[in-house]
């Protein structure tokens, strides 16, 4: 996913082979991973000439946010998990959280 996010253009499996891993994975391996990511809705596929090219359907930040929410869903005590998270967040991120929370509307608010 990082190679796709870092690219401005859609990439073919062959393009990706040259951008990921050392040693480089086989094209068939890359195609298998791309098929799985496509089924999960993380990448889209378009035809460029005779080849398929792939691009992310979600921004890196959207996937990170979904992962954080999923981790919260796995806890027994969301409030405690959030509290522990905030205790560990670096000061710059605390300020970013404050700004984001101040912009967030509560239900019923316009």
Is the pTM higher than 0.85? The answer reads no
Quick: pLDDT tens for 20-66.
878 989 999 999 999 999 999 999 999 999 999 999 999 999 999 99
Strand intervals (E) in the chain: 11-12, 43-48, 51-56
Beta carbons within 8 Å of 2's beta carbon, 6+ residues apart: 20, 60
CATH of 2-56, one of 1.20.1290.10, 3.90.230.10, 1.10.10.10, 1.10.3720.10: 1.10.10.10
pLDDT of residue 109 exceeding 70: no
Q: In the structure, what pLDDT confidence band is assigned to residue 108 with cuts at 50, 70 and 90?
A: low
Domain ranges across the chain: 2-56, 76-104
Residues 91-102, mean pLDDT to the nearest whole number:
90
């Amino acid at each position: 996913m990082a190679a796709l996010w870092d690219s401005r253009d859609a990439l073919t499996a062959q393009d990706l082979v040259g951008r990921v891993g050392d040693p480089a994975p086989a094209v068939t391996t890359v195609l298998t991973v791309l098929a799985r990511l496509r089924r999960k809705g993380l990448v889209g596929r378009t035809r460029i000439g005779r080849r398929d090219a792939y691009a992310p359907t979600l921004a890196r930040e959207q996937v990170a946010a979904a992962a954080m929410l999923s981790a919260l869903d796995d806890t027994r005590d969301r409030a405690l998990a959030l509290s522990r998270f905030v205790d560990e967040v670096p000061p710059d991120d605390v300020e970013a959280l404050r700004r984001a929370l101040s912009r967030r509307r509560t239900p019923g608010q316009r």
